[in-house]
Amino acid sequence: MNFQISVHYEIVTEESAEQGEAEETGTDVDREVWPFRDVIRKLQECSELSGWRMSRLSDFEAHGHVWASTYPDVDYRTGDARTESVHVYQANGQPLTARQAFRLYRAAGLLSR
């Protein structure tokens, strides 16, 4: 089974954080088709979901589009912090159904306990 995946990033510097903004944003992967196993591996790099305390199918039914994000990866020389957001869609580009999202994020170990 294949999915489309997009990976967006945000870099926050000490200076941009003072202004409440990101220094840089962009896209590393834009709607590429990936096999299930690779999508799971990418999601396993993530630490949280956009929806708060997502743990049941009904949470996904109520929330709509959900994506996963990484913890900031901090460059200790510069203090710059890079965060990635991983968005997954059906192979045809349509949003995941609540059931698909629940199963995918559960397989990646991202559901709250």
| Confidence grade of residue 19 (pLDDT, cut at 50, 70, 90) | very high
Q: Write down the pLDDT at residue 63.
A: 79
Q: Write down the pLDDT at residue 94.
A: 96
The model's pLDDT over 54-111, given as tens digits with 9 standing for 90+, comes to 788 888 888 778 899 999 999 999 999 999 999 999 999 999 999 999 999 999 999 8
The answer to whether residues 81 and 74 touch, using CB atoms and an 8 Å cutoff, is yes
> In the chain, what is the straight-line distance between the N-terminal and C-terminal CA atoms, in Å?
27
Q: Write down the pLDDT at residue 95.
A: 94
∠ CA 31-33-36, rounded to 5°: 125
Q: Does position 50 have pLDDT exceeding 90, yes or no?
A: no
Whether this model's pTM surpasses 0.85: yes
Structure tokens at 32: 């590429």
Mean pLDDT along residues 37-64: 86
Place of tokens 């956009």: 50
Burial 4-18 (b: 16+ CB within 10 A, else e): bbbbbbbbbbeebee
Sequence spans of domains, the chain: 2-107
Q: Write down the pLDDT at residue 113.
A: 61
Place of tokens 């489309």: 4
The answer to whether residues 11 and 80 touch, using CB atoms and an 8 Å cutoff, is yes
